Amino acid sequence: MTPEEQRAALATALTDAGSLPAEWAPAFNSVPRHAFLPDTIWTDEGDEDPECSRSEEPERWMRLAYSDLPIITQWDDGADDGTRSTPTSSASMPTVVAEMLSDLDAEPGHRVLEIGTGTGYNAALLAHRLGAEMVSTVEVDAQVSARARTALRGAGYAPEVVCGDGSLGWGVRAPYDRIMSTVSLRDIPAAWLAQTRPGGVIVSPVSPLFGGGAIVRLTVDGEGAASGRFTRSSAFMVLRQQRYEGEPVEDYLPGDWPGDSEQSWTKLDPEAAIGDDWPAQFACALTLPDVYYRRNGFGEDGWTWWLFDTAVTSWATVDSVPGESRFEVRQSGPRNLWDEVEAAWRWWDDQGRPGFDRFGLTAGREGHTAWLDSPENPVPRQG
């Protein structure tokens, strides 16, 4: 198949899956995704080597460009030391791009700000449908930004490409009808609220510390706030300035475990109840915005769950051992972090285990409130 045929096949597959709205199909059929990718890319194709070089494997490279896969284009902010520990720029999965554009509900005549230019592919899609003069895109990484600008020009699109911190928005062309972020944040920045016109829409991935990221679609009111529902789960890269690895365990527990902790027991297995359940993690995250966890495997197939607060006052461990009916808990500090997580999980369970789309967010100058089903029903916050 020629690249054009592969592009058309991808667009058809996205349409058939219900991900690509008809009004965005011409852009997907026209914008050459491969023209935005560097010669060396990385993607998870199961058994295949994730790295693919265009010069060595031209056919595979082109097939990957038009596969419904996220493609990593930069590691470790461009540090070329061979370690490749954290992916830091990518072309997002086409399904996700299409569904976020569907959430964005942009129309010709709308002025749009994209945060996270990355390869420039999404900016090209926006420029194709809305006109390049209506599109601005902000990228924090100078090399990534320069590459995207060149790729955009090469493909015949000239949106405004800005190198800077997208969490500050881009006031020069405000107000925007739409802001679309393709990098995730913990909270919606005040600058985006201020730079979106009343009635305008912000679509962004939100990735709370505890896990279970999701896309939120907010409508901005005329008074500096915005409100709306989460639409779907997501796993986007985190805003460069908000990456959080956690604090060293020694800062919480200077000596050997179990330190001064108190022992108790729980019947809730964190691994089974929360470990692989994204909505459960998300509910805990909304309830406990300042708590995070780490898991350590031990022995055959058990896990120790470590819980920490960002203020570095408290920690807890829970041992998840398959086949057991109760699990040992250790808690230390002014907060009983496992009790808080268990209460958050039980609240979520009592609500009928809601998925992402029953949750919503109101973002304003005074902070953010997550809610269930309606803004009148805030998610109970702990901590």
Ligand X SMILES: C[S@@+](CC[C@H](N)C(=O)[O-])C[C@H]1O[C@@H](n2cnc3c(N)ncnc32)[C@H](O)[C@@H]1O
Residues with catalytic roles: 92
Specify the stretch interacting with ligand X by CB under 6 A; choose among 41-49, 55-63, 238-246, 312-320.
Answer: 238-246
Per CB under 6 A, does 319 bind ligand X? no
Specify the stretch interacting with ligand X by CB under 6 A; choose among 149-157, 187-195, 233-241, 315-323.
Answer: 233-241
Q: How many residues bind ligand X (CB under 6 A)?
A: 26
Specify the stretch interacting with ligand X by CB under 6 A; choose among 115-123, 295-303, 335-343, 357-365.
Answer: 115-123
Per CB under 6 A, does 92 bind ligand X? yes
Q: What is the smallest separation between the CB atom of 131 and ligand X, expressed in angstroms?
A: 18
Considering only residues 122 to 181 of the shown chain, the ones binding ligand X according to CB under 6 A are 122, 138-141, 144, 165-167
Q: Are 352 and 372 spatial neighbours (Cβ–Cβ below 8 Å)? A: no
The phi and psi torsions of 10 (rounded to 5 degrees) equal -65, -45
Listed in sequence order, the residues at least 6 apart from 323 whose beta carbon sits closer than 8 Å to its beta carbon are none
Per CB under 6 A, does 119 bind ligand X? yes
Q: Are 310 and 290 spatial neighbours (Cβ–Cβ below 8 Å)? A: yes
Listed in sequence order, the residues at least 6 apart from 204 whose beta carbon sits closer than 8 Å to its beta carbon are 115, 179, 180, 181, 184, 185, 188, 192, 215, 216, 218
C-beta of 234 vs 314, nearer to ligand X: 234
C-alpha dist (Å) from residue 367 to 227, 319, 364, 370: 12, 35, 5, 10
Q: What is the smallest separation between the CB atom of 47 and ligand X, expressed in angstroms?
A: 25
Per CB under 6 A, does 84 bind ligand X? no
Residue from 27, 72, 112, 115 binding ligand X (CB under 6 A)? 115
The phi and psi torsions of 340 (rounded to 5 degrees) equal -70, -45
C-beta of 119 vs 362, nearer to ligand X: 119
Q: Which of 28, 36, 31 is nearest to 10 (CA)?
A: 28
C-beta of 116 vs 228, nearer to ligand X: 116
Q: What is the smallest separation between the CB atom of 277 and ligand X, expressed in angstroms?
A: 25
Identify the H or E element spanning 137: strand 135-139
CA distance 345 to 40: 43
Q: What is the smallest separation between the CB atom of 20 and ligand X, expressed in angstroms?
A: 15
Measured from each CB, the residue nearest to ligand X is 118
Residue from 19, 43, 67, 182 binding ligand X (CB under 6 A)? 182
Residue from 19, 43, 67, 90 binding ligand X (CB under 6 A)? 90
Rounded to 10 degrees, the C-alpha dihedral 334/282/200/156 comes to 120
DSSP 8-30: HHHHHHHHHTT-S-GGGHHHHHH
Sign of CA dihedral 269, 272, 276, 282: negative
Per CB under 6 A, does 91 bind ligand X? yes
Residue from 52, 183, 206, 329 binding ligand X (CB under 6 A)? 183
CA distance 352 to 16: 31
C-beta of 148 vs 316, nearer to ligand X: 148
CA distance 309 to 275: 18
| Residues at the site binding ligand X, with contacts judged by CB under 6 A | 88-92, 115-116, 118-119, 121-122, 138-141, 144, 165-167, 182-183, 236-237, 239-241
